[in-house]
Chains A and B, each alone.
Chain A
C-alpha cells in the first residue's frame, strides 16, 4: 500500500499512537477495494490537531476542515453526493470540545459517515492542555494544579445521541483496528470508532492500555446491553460494541436521490422556474445569451 502515502514529511513523534491509525486506514482501504469500494469513492475528512495531519499523509481525496467543524463538513459531503464514503478523522479536543454540537447532531441524524476519534486525552498540537476526555486531576499548561472537571465518556454519549454503530479500537491492535475501520465504513449510518491513542509526549498511556485492553466479540444490539459494556472500568473491551440498523440521514431526506448526479440540466430547471412564475413558455425555448440589465 506504499502508493497510499504522499511526499509530505511525517512529523509525528516516534512511538505515537497516530501511526497505527494511519497504517490501519491504509490497510482498510485495501480491504475495502477488495469489497468493491474503490479508493476514488473514499473522501478523507480531518479536523485540526495532530490527528488531522493524516490528511497530508494519505494519498486519497480529502477535506482538511476547521477545528471542531469537520463533522459538519463531512455530513454535507455525503449529502451532496451520497455515492461517496466519507471518513472523518477527529481529535478529542476537536470533536468533543469545539465541535461537540456537530458530533452529537451527526449521531442524532444517523448521518452515513464514519468518525474515527483519535482519543489521546490531550490537546497535543497546542502542547498538552487537558481535553474533554482527560481524567480529573490532569495537569497541563492550562491546568497546572490539575483539572477539576470530570471527563466526558464518548461511547455512552454517542449511544444516547443516536449513533447506530459504536466501536472502540486501540493503537496497539493494528489488525483489529483495521477490521473495525472496514466494518465502520461498510455500516450504513453513523459509525463511531473511539481509538485509544497514546500520545507519548503529553499523555503516554501505552502501559495502562496494554494492561486494560481486551478484544471482545460481544456486540450489543440494545442500549441497555451497550451501557453495561461501556460502564466497565476493570477492563477496556475493544471491538464493535453496539450496532443497530436504521435508515441514514440522506435516505430520510431524499431516498436514492443524489443532488450532484441527478441534477436537471439548465433548460429543465429554468423552465420549472418559468412555470412557477407563470411566465409564458415558448416551446423549444433556447438560451438567449446573457441578459442586459436595464
Chain B
C-alpha cells in the first residue's frame, strides 16, 4: 500500500518567520490527527540568506522529513530556485509574485498585499500557512482560529492579510490535497524541548550554559519555562565557569545539568575530570554541530562520539548515551540524570542538531521518568535545612562521615551541607575523608574505588534497555542517534525489510547485547567522515563491517536517498 506522506516546505530569508511558519504548518497537520515531523534548516545569520522548514506528515508513523514535497511556498527568489526541483509529481509550487516574474507555478502577490499593513516583511510567513490551509481544503474560519492561536500579536491585521491571500489562493489551489485524517496523539515538540522536559521530569534544579548552537534551545526553553517548576536556567560567563559551577552546585545537593556544543564542551573538559575526581553527579549535554572548531554552526553531524567517550584527563568512569528519537530523548535525559546521582559520576547526553531542532508529536508519560536520587548517609544533621530528597539511607559511621568511603560498588553515601559532619570534596587525590594525599597506597586504592563504579554501572545497565532493535529479518543495519530516525523512515519509504540496531549507551558500551551481531557484516549508517561509530562497534563489540553509509555535508539523511543507498548495499 502506498504511504500517504504529505510534505510541505516553506522557504525564505532569515527574519521572515520561516521556522514559525513551519511550526504552524505542523500544528495544522496535527489538527488533522496526522503524525508530523518538522525539520528546520537555517544558516548562522540573523537577516537574509536562506532558511527553510520542511514538515512531513502521515497517518502512520513518520520519523523524518522528506524533501520531495507536495506543496512548496517560497517567500523569496532564492528559495524558489533552490526548491523548485523538489516539487513532487502533481505537487504545487507557490511563489511570491512580487519578488520575481516569469516563474513556473502559482504566483501570489504576498509582499504587495502585506504592504497594505505595517511591518510587511514580518507578515509574509502568514501567507505560507494560509496557502497550506487553502490547499488542504480548510476554510477561512479555521485559518482565523489558527492565527488567533499562533500569531496573537497584531491579530486583526494578520487575519485581514490572511483573508486576502486566502481569496487569491482558493481559486487556484483550493482543496487540492484532501488529506486523510489520522488519530495521532501527543504534542509536537522539538528534541531540545524533550531533553529539557526530561530533565525537569527527572528532578532538575539548575541548568547552566553559555550560548552555543545547537545547544541553545535547551537554555532558552528552560529560561522561559523553568520557573514554575522551581528550575532556574543561568547564562554564565563561559563554558569553563558553567562546568565548574555545576560541580559546585552538586556539592550543595542541587540536581544540575549543563549544555554546550563542540568548542564549548572542549572548554568543559577540565571540569569534566574534576567531576570524575570529586565524584560529582553532573549531567553534561553535548549537542553536536558539523565539522571541527567553529565548524558549520547550524548544521548537523555525529563526529563528537569519540570525544564524548574519551574527554577528560586521567582514568575515571563516566556514562555516555545518545537518544535515537525525540521520545527517547525525554526518558533518556531523566535516566541519565538519575545515573549521575546514583553513581556520582559525570554523564554525557550526546545528541545532534538534527534531533535537537527537529520536532515531532510524541506521547510521553512524565510519571514514568526516572527521578534522580542519591544514596544518602544517614546522619543528615543540620535539621530542616538538609536536602529534602529521600534516597536510600546508609548506616551512620561511628568514626565520622567519610565522603569517599570505600565500598564494594565504589559508591560512597552522600551528605550535603549544612551538616554536623564535615564533608570534603577534593580535586586532588584524597583519602576516604577527602583530605589530600600523594601516597602510593591510598592513591591506588582510591583509583580502584572510583573505577569499581564502572562495573557497578555495567551491572545496572545490564538490567535495562541499552540497545533498541527495530524490525526483524533482512540485513542488519547499525545506526545511533538521530540517524536512527532517518533509517527507520528510509525503510518505510523504500519498503525495505531490515533489522535496525541502535545502541543508546555508548560508554559503557553494551557489548553484552551486541556480540550476537558479530559476523553479520552490518550496514553502518552514521554522520561522520571518519566512521567513528563503525570503529566503536568494531573495537568494543567485535562487530566489523565493510558496508558503510556516511554523510558529512551537515545535512541529515533524506529517506528516499537513504533507501536507495541501502538497497544498493543489500
Contact = CB atoms under 8 A, between A and B. Distances in A.
A264 B197 contact: no
B260 to A, nearest CB: 15
Interface stretch (A165-173, A192-200, A275-283): A275-283
B150 to A, nearest CB: 16
A75 B245 contact: yes
Interface stretch (A38-46, A181-189, A208-216, A229-237): A38-46
A105 to B, nearest CB: 5
A77 B251 CA distance: 7
A153 interface: no
A148 interface: no
A277 B232 CA distance: 19
B237 interface: yes
Contacts of B382: 40
A80 B436 contact: no
Contacts of A263: 203, 205, 230, 387-389
Contacts of B331: 291, 293
A81 to B, nearest CB: 4
Interface string B235-259: 0111011001111111111101000
A146 interface: no
Interface stretch (B109-117, B303-311, B368-376): B368-376
B427 interface: yes
B254 A81 contact: yes
B254 A260 contact: yes
Contacts of B416: 81, 260
Contact of A266 (B189, B203, B254, B464): B203
A251 interface: no
Contacts of B249: 76-77, 79-80
B205 A260 contact: yes
B364 A277 contact: yes
Interface stretch (B89-97, B121-129, B417-425, B538-546): B417-425
B248 A74 contact: yes
Nearest to B205: A259
A63 B247 CA distance: 10
A274 B252 CA distance: 28
A289 B425 CA distance: 33
Contact of B248 (A55, A63, A83, A261): A63
A76 B252 contact: yes
A56 interface: yes
Interface centre among B201, B256, B417 (most CB of A within 10 A): B417
Nearest to B366: A273
Contact of A293 (B238, B418, B435, B465): B465
Interface residues of A, number: 65
Interface string B181-225: 000000101000000010011010110100000000000000001
Interface in B300-344: 328, 331
Nearest to A262: B230
Interface in B237-285: 237-238, 240-241, 244-254, 256, 270-271, 274
Contacts of A221: none
A53 B234 CA distance: 31
A7 B435 contact: yes
Nearest to A257: B230
A62 B252 contact: no
Interface centre among A7, A102, A259 (most CB of B within 10 A): A259
Contacts of B424: 55, 61-62, 64
A253 interface: yes
A48 B277 CA distance: 15
B365 interface: yes
A292 B251 contact: no
A110 to B, nearest CB: 14
B436 A8 contact: yes
Given A64-B426, A260-B205, A72 B435 contact: no
B142 interface: no
B310 to A, nearest CB: 20
B205 A80 contact: yes
A277 B245 contact: no
A69 interface: yes
Contact of B247 (A73, A83, A260, A278): A73
Given A101-B237, A260-B205, A293-B465, A279 B364 contact: yes
B367 A72 contact: no
B381 interface: yes
Contacts of A278: 187
A135 interface: no
Given A40-B420, A261-B385, A274 B366 contact: yes
A63 B270 contact: no
Contacts of A76: 206, 208, 244-249, 252, 254, 256
A264 B381 CA distance: 21
Nearest to B417: A61
A5 to B, nearest CB: 12
A285 interface: yes
Given A79-B249, A277-B197, A270 B230 contact: no
B271 A69 contact: yes
Contacts of B419: 40, 61
Contacts of A285: 367
B205 A277 contact: no
A50 interface: no
B466 to A, nearest CB: 10
B178 interface: no
Interface string A238-266: 00000000000000011001011111111
Contacts of A8: 435-436
Interface in A74-100: 74-77, 79-81, 83-84
Contacts of B252: 43, 76-77, 80-81, 84, 260
Given A38-B418, A260-B387, A69 B240 contact: yes
A293 B384 CA distance: 37
A14 B384 CA distance: 43
A288 B367 contact: yes
Nearest to A61: B423
B187 A63 contact: no
Interface in B342-380: 364-371
Given A72-B248, A73-B245, A76-B249, A65 B385 contact: no
A60 interface: yes
Contact of A84 (B229, B236, B328, B418): B418
A273 B204 CA distance: 12
Contact of B253 (A7, A40, A81, A102): A81
A283 B378 CA distance: 33
B435 A6 contact: yes
A258 to B, nearest CB: 8
Interface string A4-44: 00111000000000000000000000000000001011010
Given A59-B422, A260-B416, A270 B187 contact: no
Q: Which 7 A-B pairs have the closest CB atoms?
A: A73-B248, A76-B248, A291-B368, A80-B252, A76-B245, A80-B254, A273-B366
7 contacts: A73-B244, A80-B205, A81-B253, A84-B252, A260-B253, A261-B388, A272-B200
Interface of B: 187, 189, 197, 200-201, 203, 205-206, 208, 225, 228-230, 232, 234, 236-238, 240-241, 244-254, 256, 270-271, 274, 328, 331, 364-371, 381-382, 384-385, 387-389, 416-428, 434-436, 464-465, 468
Given A73-B244, A259-B206, 13 more contacts: A8-B436, A40-B417, A41-B418, A61-B421, A63-B425, A69-B270, A77-B252, A83-B385, A263-B203, A270-B366, A273-B201, A274-B367, A277-B189
